Structure 1
Amino acid sequence: MEAFLVSTGIVALAEIGDKTQLLAFLLAARFRKPLPICLGIFIATVVNHAFAGALGAWITSQLSPMTLRWVLGIGFVAMAGWIFVPDKIDEEEESGAKLKLGVLGTTIVAFFMAEMGDKTQIATVALAARFDSLVAVVAGTTLGMMLANVPAVLLGEKLAGRVPVRLVHGLAALIFAVLGVLTLLGAGQRLGV
């Protein structure tokens, strides 16, 4: 349950103001069809985060507990700093929205591409390596994505101006930093410390 709750919270907070949330706003404004957009976000997130989680689980099997502890600890601390780097939607990702795939297909392709190498994808890799529950991590990160992006789709730009993005990013960075420090200090029985 801890893996699910931590994954949900971290991704929901980290996603506020992220490029995929900006993409959700753009898709909602362009297509004005919230149900297929939300379904597309869900499908793209499950597939992307399942791959990321599997990579994290594989990394766990390849590294010694001590090496894994240092890699994860430093990675979580780095994620805390990365949270403050502003995102924008790249031209390459915008071009995915020009495909003739319909609303659902366009959303799936655009979101899947936007998540490649994104903060939340990297967080999913790290969380899957940290916790011994791939399903709980992927379910949690997916729920976190949905918690951040469904309101963006449903409420559009009206919501964007009212969310204190710096505060939310600060909370997400704090959680990543605490996880990093705790991991470096050896917290967590699964890491062999």
Structure 2
Amino acid sequence: MDWHLLGISFITVFLAEIGDKSQLAAIALSGSSKSPRAVFLGTIAALLLASFLGVIAGEGVAVLLPARLLKAIAAIGFALIAVRLLWPDTDVQEDLEEKP
């Protein structure tokens, strides 16, 4: 097992998940529940399952498609998202202009 990769993955996911909506849901559920341990175990199980499915799906896609094609698809996807975020939405601007 590559311990360095394990550590980097853990730190990255841990930092990304702090303040995430799953954390807020766990806080809300544990505050109103009589069994915070059950909320903790359910939250951990859900996060593990979601991560496991993500790894399995990522490996499956990596086996089917070459790395260069995956990088190109990711780059195009991020570029489209960037253009969409920067492109002004005329419907929203018209709605804002109509409201007093």
Q: TM-score band, normalised by the shorter chain?
A: 0.5 to 0.7
From 40, 43, 46, the equivalent of 1:44 is 46
Aligned residues: 77
What percentage of residue pairs aligned between the two structures are identical?
27
1:51 to partner: Cα distance: 1.3
Give the TM-score normalised by structure 1: 0.35
**Runs of 4+ displaced beyond 6 Å:** none
* Structure 1 unmatched ranges of 5 or more: 82-193
One-letter identity of the residue aligned with 1:40: G
1:34 is aligned to 36
1:132-151 equivalences in 2 (<5 Å): none
Larger Rg: 2
Counterpart position of 2:69: 67
Q: Please report the RMSD computed on the Cα atoms of aligned residues, expressed in angstroms.
A: 2.5
- Please list, as runs of the form range in 1=range in 2, the aligned pairs for 1:37-116 lying within 5 A after superposition: 37-71=39-73, 74=75
Partner Cα distance (2:31, 2:18) in 1: 18
List alignment gaps of at least 5 residues for structure 2.
83-100
Work out the CA distance in 2 between the residues paired with 1:69 and 1:5: 24
Corresponding position of 2:10? 8
Q: Which has the higher helix share?
A: 2
- Under a length normalisation based on structure 2, what TM-score does the superposition of the two structures give? 0.63
Higher RCO, 1 vs 2 (CA within 8 Å, ≥6 residues apart):
1
